[in-house]
Amino acid sequence: MSDLTEQTTHEPQGRPPGVERGGHGSVLTYLTGFGFAVVLTLASFWAAGTHLVWEPAVPVLLAALAVAQMGVHVVFFFNIGSGPDSTNNFLALTFGVFVVGLVVFGSLLIMSNLNIEMLPMDQLMKMQR
């Protein structure tokens, strides 16, 4: 009977396993994330408009800043850390990114194929006459 009492005190009713109490960040955590996001955004605008960075390296720098921005959002706003309690959230996020990437890549592949297979406009106009 003591095992049942101990289990109910540790695991609240109505909460699925793996969901921790107080999963939200504090105001300081959100403000820190907001500060990082603002700095990364300003750095992106600076990198796009300056001539101090070697011109072919600008897209690479912007991509790195974008990945850093995504990391800030995941850690500070989505509250997904590296702990074992965030495994399900991380897997769900990874699956979502995979599905979105698959849809975008598949759409680009289909549009590219349609562009290659489509007749030029003058030949289409001749077929309509």
Higher-confidence residue: 38 or 80?
A: 38
Closest listed residue to residue 40, CA positions, set 75, 66, 78, 63:
66
Higher-confidence residue: 7 or 82?
A: 82
For residue 16, the 8-state DSSP code is -
Which residues are within 8 A (CB) of 1 and not within 5 positions of it... i.e. 6 or more apart? none
**Average pLDDT over the chain, rounded to an integer:** 85
- For the cut 70, the answer to whether the pLDDT of residue 94 exceeds it is yes
Over residues 44-65, the mean pLDDT reads 96
Which residues are within 8 A (CB) of 43 and not within 5 positions of it... i.e. 6 or more apart? 65
Paired tokens of 88: 């399900």
Over residues 38-59, the mean pLDDT reads 96
What are 3-35's pLDDT values in tens digits?
555 555 555 555 545 445 555 678 999 999 999
- For the cut 80, the answer to whether the pLDDT of residue 90 exceeds it is yes
pLDDT score recorded for residue 14: 53
- 15 φ, ψ (degrees, to nearest 5): -115, 125
pLDDT score recorded for residue 87: 85
- 11 φ, ψ (degrees, to nearest 5): -115, 105
